[in-house]
Amino acid sequence: MLQDIRANAQGTVAKVIVGLIVIAFAFFGIESILLGGGGNAVAEVNGDDITPQELQQAVNTRKRQLLAMMGDDINADLLDDQLLTQQAIQTLIQRKLLVQSAQEMGLSISDTQVGAIVGSMEQFKLDGQFSAEMYRARLSEAGFTPGSFKRTITDDLLMGQARSGLAATEFATPAEMTLSARIAHEQRDLRYLTIPVEGFREGQQVSDAEVEQYYADNPQQFLATEAVILDYIELRAEDFRQPVDEQLVLEAYETEKLTGQYATENRVSHILFEQGADESEEAFAQRIVQVQARLGEGADFAQLAGEFSDDIGSSNFGGELGLSRGDTFPEEMEKAIAAMDVGEVSAPVVTEAGTHLILLQERREGKAPDLEELRPRLEEQIALAEARVELLRTVETLKDLAFNADNLSEPAAELELEVSRSERIVRDQTEGLFANSALLAAAFSDDVLTAGHNSDVIELDSDTWVALRVREHFPAEVMPLEAVRGQILTAVADAKARAAVEAAAKDAVASLRGNKSVEALATEAGYAWQVELGADRRNPIVPQEVLAGAFRLAPPGEGNPVIDYVIAESGDAMVYEVARVTPGDLTELAEIERQLLQQQVSGEYGQLIDNEYRLGLRDGADINVL
């Protein structure tokens, strides 16, 4: 079908179909297609809506987290919107249930608490102080508004209160602590010897028949890596640079003077007064008058801000609000600031936030640099902007030409572009241009690899686009026997050596169970051996394989040690004997060990309660995913 569409994309029928799609979008809106309806919620939890905006915010946040963890080499499948959307909906449902439960418990978070947290966050500080500009910029980058960000913090705190409170209700009884100490601090007397695999590798004979049989039984081990050689066109903004017209530089300079960072800047501090719910107008006004009187007597503004300001974010920093070019603060504040002299404190200024006393600390008069000083930057900006325009024009033309072309040479010739050729590219390519996940996905897609079409013109970043086509395909085929004979000889010899080691270990176990001592057996065979008395589960000396196996064995009877063996990842065999078990004793633990055990047991119980709490909320909830 795709081939038919390609072949007839320029036909009358195709144009009619496209026209109908355009009309549908115009009348019904793209949102009805993307969101599947006109509803305002994607899910309901006990009657509370989860909005499309909340869902999109959660998806975007998860994408940023994945990219931060894995970088540009992330598997593109992990960023699939459908997958992330389903995960995000479930996460939002769980959050909603936890918040609802906390509210039903009567828990609450004050605006003062939220303000204190926001004011202390390093992300919003500039030169060690809270910056309102930085606050708004960072929230905007993350897709938050101040209101939605504060609601998120409030919800997080509510959930934390509820969960920590429930966890704190669980405790371990003395009997449970005694039993936990008995198991966790148990000690075992061990003897063990090591049978090295290396001594069994020498002299192993591997026949041709064994090699051929291994090759026939394990073809998946000898697959040559699937690879392709690509023809590709790479479009970069840098390749479209042209000399800059002087008139454009002059125009840009004039614009820069008007809109650049050269406006007058004012550094201000404030003391904010918010009228309390139970506070009378008279009492509120008296508070302001009291502070004004103190200022009139020469009191330090920063000290008074710390003592009286209701703005948690700035009060800890002497009321400092940072710099404004006339558009940072509410209009009422900006008008007052513009009319003030440096060092002057304003009369009370009323805004939606409350009533402010403003101190103008500093005024920086703006002045634009000379043209020649700005010329290199302006020319670079203009050249790059024009190059990007030309790049996008070429990209759009290439998209049309490549879609219908049987190769990349014809579109390249028409646009005077160069077709390059890659080296062998594999599916898990990690170096070079084609380590990019989007290009790899395109190169190995059915449309490009199997059907033999040109790829889409793929955006790598705003300045780089690539179109590609498979020139040669090297399937993942089983390599010839002779090419892998050496690999098989090593594998078969190693398997024989490991089998011989395991047989020796079984013989050693039988000898020890026949009352031969570890020391005598090791001395006869020339094996290294070791004794470890009172080994606990965290012993750093005993090999972990031996330690894990020894603590899985049943305790020995009187005078009858228990014996077993384990094959380490290296291939060595370790035969071990447990001679005695000493249970842990809570009364003999040091105070720090008791505390750690208490934390461990409480943590395990708390996790169990939290899991049951979450399951209970979900089981009793009315959840409707729309």
Q: Comparing 5-14, 118-127, 370-379, 401-410, which segment has the lowest mean pLDDT?
A: 5-14
pLDDT of residue 491: 94
**Is the pLDDT score of 424 beyond 90?**
yes
pLDDT tier at 73, thresholds 50, 70, 90? low
Nearest CA to 49 out of 122, 124, 100, 111 is that of 100
pLDDT of residue 261: 63
Nearest CA to 103 out of 159, 149, 61 is that of 159
Strand intervals (E) in 369-488: 420-421, 425-426, 458-461, 464-474
Q: Which residue has the higher pLDDT, 36 or 320?
A: 320
Q: Do 181 and 597 meet the contact criterion of CB atoms below 8 Å apart?
A: yes
Question: What number is the average pLDDT over the span 270-299?
Answer: 93
pLDDT tier at 173, thresholds 50, 70, 90? confident
pLDDT of residue 260: 60
pLDDT of residue 28: 38
**Is the pLDDT score of 351 beyond 80?**
yes
Q: Do 447 and 6 meet the contact criterion of CB atoms below 8 Å apart?
A: no
Q: Which residue has the higher pLDDT, 376 or 73?
A: 376
* Amino acid at the residue 505: A
Q: Which residue has the higher pLDDT, 244 or 367?
A: 244
- Give me the residues paired with residue 420 across strands: 232
Nearest CA to 154 out of 100, 111, 119 is that of 111
**Is the pLDDT score of 16 beyond 50?**
no
Distance CA 164, CA 57 (A): 27
**How many other CB atoms are there within 10 angstroms of residue 226's CB atom?**
17
Question: What number is the average pLDDT over the span 369-396?
Answer: 91
pLDDT tier at 37, thresholds 50, 70, 90? very low
pLDDT of residue 479: 92
pLDDT tier at 208, thresholds 50, 70, 90? very high
Domain ranges of the chain: 1-38, 174-182+589-625, 187-200+482-582, 227-245+372-474, 263-364
Q: What value does the mean pLDDT of the chain take?
A: 87
Over residues 179-190, the pLDDT tens digits come to 989 999 999 999
Both structure tokens of 184: 């966790």
Backbone angles phi, psi at 581, to 5 degrees: -120, 130
**Is the pLDDT score of 35 beyond 60?**
no
Strand intervals (E) in 527-569: 528-535, 562-567
Question: What number is the average pLDDT over the span 463-486?
Answer: 94
pLDDT tier at 213, thresholds 50, 70, 90? very high
Q: Look up the CATH number of domain 263-364.
A: 3.10.50.40
Q: Comparing 246-260, 292-306, 351-365, 580-594, which segment has the lowest mean pLDDT?
A: 246-260
Q: Which residues contact 235 (CB under 8 A, 6 or more apart)?
A: 391, 394, 395, 398, 417, 457, 464, 465, 466
Over residues 331-345, the pLDDT tens digits come to 999 999 999 999 999
Q: Which residue has the higher pLDDT, 607 or 275?
A: 275
Q: Do 104 and 158 meet the contact criterion of CB atoms below 8 Å apart?
A: no
pLDDT more than 90, % of the chain? 55
Whether the predicted model's global pTM rises above the 0.75 cut: no
**How many other CB atoms are there within 10 angstroms of residue 573's CB atom?**
27
Over residues 583-622, the pLDDT tens digits come to 999 998 899 988 888 888 887 887 888 888 889 999 998 9
Distance CA 345, CA 291 (A): 11
- Give me the residues paired with residue 272 across strands: 356
Q: Do 596 and 72 meet the contact criterion of CB atoms below 8 Å apart?
A: no
**Is the pLDDT score of 319 beyond 70?**
yes
